[in-house]
Amino acid sequence: MIEVRRHNAAYCKECFFHVFREQVKRAISQYDMLGTSDRILVAVSGGKDSLALWDVLLELGYDVTGLYLGLGIGAYSTRSGEASKAFAADRGADLIVVDLERDYGYDIPTAGKRGSRSTCAVCGLSKRYVFNRAALEGGYDVVATGHNLDDEAATLLGNTLRWQTEYIARQSPALPAKEGMVKKVKPLFRLSELETAAFAFLRGIDYVVEECPLVGGNTQLRYKDAMNAIEADSPGTKAQFFLGYLDRGLPLFRFEDTAVLAACENCGQPTTGRFCAFCRARAQILGELLTPPDDDDGSVAAEMADEVMPVEIFGGSA
């Protein structure tokens, strides 16, 4: 039996599968996330959420390919890659593997030590950039990620505590395609982390249970702990908070989504500045200078190397 306190219900396995899939179908339908002819790229990490998402989308008959990004975090990444490949093999699904160090010259542990961003921040930036770029280059129509209700409620809490209105304006579970940016969707947003874990377990998915060894002190975890403490006394709070934001809060902040995008002068990906946040972070990590085409004496590059990174436009995690 699986207890879902916010539903005031407990389900047998088969009924739980039905309820879970119906929540995903409702999310997809409500936000027009996926079409039957869409080529979908699902970002997988080997964890419960991404593999559960991939499983559901395959079961629902979508054309979905997995993308795994190797982050170079020692045995943790090795296990994550193995879990993703094993799932793909078991389901007969296609998996693209990108390696951050092989393809972009750095790994996450190194990035956390050398860059000005936190390890988790540069990891998130790297993943969002690579997923978007892989989708564009592979001709995919949409990128799907395994963000769940706990993720979204915690992100919204963090962004609201700091009144980061440019991010609050962009936390829809379906972000439309723009020039240089593929459509991004989060079909699991109606489901809690407990539900995705239960689904993955009951489906016999061998996901990575171990936590990333670099996650210590992670802000997102603190926000999740806070939300779950409230949820323990008031089941349904996370859903009311995030789904209520989608219904009544998001429309009030749409005017904050004013980013004007141009092409990064290094890679061509969209950015609000001359170079995108990924290229600037990568240059800093590798100890390189990004040089605009018209910067003959390198003075612009040197000046920009010390500037605060521009606002990320691929996501909006707290």
Pairing of strands 174-175, 9-11: unpaired
Binding site for another protein (CB under 8 A): 1-3, 5, 10, 43, 45, 47-50, 120, 123-124, 127-128, 131, 145-147, 150-151, 155, 192-194, 196-198, 201-202, 209-212, 215, 218, 220-221, 224-225, 228-229, 231-232, 235, 315, 317
Least gap, CB of 253 to another protein (angstroms): 20
Query: Hey, what are 191's tokens?
Result: 């489901």
By beta-carbon proximity to another protein, the closer residue of 14 and 306 is 14
Please give the Cα distance from 290 to 239 (Å, whole number). Answer: 43
Query: Hey, what are 218's tokens?
Result: 């992670």
Please give the Cα distance from 172 to 298 (Å, whole number). Answer: 40
Please give the Cα distance from 309 to 318 (Å, whole number). Answer: 16
Please give the Cα distance from 101 to 204 (Å, whole number). Answer: 32
Least gap, CB of 13 to another protein (angstroms): 8
Least gap, CB of 286 to another protein (angstroms): 23
Please give the Cα distance from 242 to 235 (Å, whole number). Answer: 13
Least gap, CB of 300 to another protein (angstroms): 33
Query: Hey, what are 157's tokens?
Result: 């809490």
By beta-carbon proximity to another protein, the closer residue of 20 and 283 is 20
Please give the Cα distance from 297 to 64 (Å, whole number). Answer: 47
Least gap, CB of 308 to another protein (angstroms): 22
Please give the Cα distance from 91 to 44 (Å, whole number). Answer: 14
By beta-carbon proximity to another protein, the closer residue of 127 and 183 is 127
By beta-carbon proximity to another protein, the closer residue of 193 and 265 is 193
By beta-carbon proximity to another protein, the closer residue of 56 and 283 is 56
